[in-house]
Amino acid sequence: MTGSPAPQRPLIDGFGRRISYLRISVTDRCDFRCVYCMSEDMTFLPKKDVLSFEEVEAIAGAFIARGTTRIRLTGGEPLVRRDIMALVESLGSRIGHGLDELTLTTNGSQLGRHAQGLHAAGVRRINVSLDTLDAERFRQITRRGRIEDVMSGIGAAQAAGLEIKINMVAMRGVNDHEIEPMMDWAHGQGMGLTLIEGMPLGDVGMDRVDAHLPLRELHDRLAQRYTFTRLAKRTGGPARYVHVAETGGTLGFITPMSHNFCESCNRVRLTATGQLYLCLGQDDQVNLRDALRSGGPEALDAALDHAMLIKPKGHDFVLDRTHAEPAVARHMSVTGG
């Protein structure tokens, strides 16, 4: 990646952490209803409340000017937003001009028709959320998805030259018996795999306590069969990686519950309505949409200064029988995980 010149006023929070990574949720809508992410019946944002692409570009530009070098587009499912490729192309044009990387997290359902365009716009790697290789279990977890569409999309993305990492939410009694097969399959296809602990975000209608699987427990289980070598690899996010000797691939662990990563947090999250959340597990936020609409670039810049002052030290996720309620009311789809 190309190096970026040092910004005159970098975004540094009250704990000395430099914010270099912006996750942008371009929509709260999704064509799936994954059991750990959404409830069966969701009420989505009115389209009039959603940021225009011009506003997203203005906010992204303000972040880039102040040292943000990585942007990830999320949802909901980002590729269901109408004309999404226009935004991807616009942001992609900033790569090499302050922005080092533009990436995407997707459920894969729309990749078949967008993979070539993503690569052409400058995207080089994507994350695909996939929690099972079993077609019927996939339908149960997503409540409506077709695994055939995702597999076709993954094939199209690989043909387009996109590097793919599979994200798998590990759930006890749901897909924990599939983790080894998923790793063997992903690594055999030249893809990385990252395992994610479920997080208590929003009321989703499932028993999160019973389904919770600490990844330390899972790591120890896998280490009895596989040979792990810790890697220094970082991709801007919270995952910790190991190399798996037997498969030749990379395995990541994201552990917000059993071992948080707050001390090195370098990211913030912009919702589709312009709310900047400073922590996935807290409600601290700044309304960048109102700042931009009422005061233009100067007000937006001042809002970023304020955001750095109120960014919390970390989240307070607790999940057990005495703390079974969601840590925050909003669903994961609002801030894109």
Query: Which amino acids are annotated as binding site for S-adenosyl-L-methionine, given as ranges?
Result: 36, 76, 129, 199
Closest listed residue to residue 335, CA positions, set 97, 27, 83? 27
- Percentages helix, strand, coil for the chain (3-state, rounded to 5) are 35, 20, 45
The dihedral formed by the CA atoms of 320, 321, 322 and 324, expressed in degrees to the nearest 10: 70
Are the C-beta atoms of 282 and 53 separated by less than 8 Å? no
Binding site, annotated residues: 23, 30, 34, 36-37, 72, 76, 105, 129, 165, 199, 262, 265, 267-269, 279
- Token pair, residue 190, equals 């030249």
Distance CA 271, CA 289 (A): 10
Binding site, annotated residues for GTP: 23, 72, 105, 165, 267-269
User: What are all long-range contacts of 126-129, with beta carbons under 8 Å and residues at least 24 apart?
Assistant: 126/157, 126/162, 126/163, 126/164, 126/165, 127/103, 127/164, 127/165, 127/166, 127/167, 127/194, 128/153, 128/154, 128/157, 128/164, 128/165, 128/166, 128/167, 129/34, 129/105, 129/166, 129/167, 129/168, 129/169
Instruction: Give ∠ CA 284-281-206 in degrees, rounded to 5.
Output: 135
Are the C-beta atoms of 236 and 20 separated by less than 8 Å? yes
Place of tokens 């990585």: 70
Closest listed residue to residue 63, CA positions, set 103, 11, 17, 105? 11
Closest listed residue to residue 337, CA positions, set 198, 175, 161? 198
Binding site, annotated residues for [4Fe-4S] cluster: 30, 34, 37, 262, 265, 279
Which helix H or strand E contains 259, and what residues bound it? none
Closest listed residue to residue 47, CA positions, set 71, 74, 26? 26
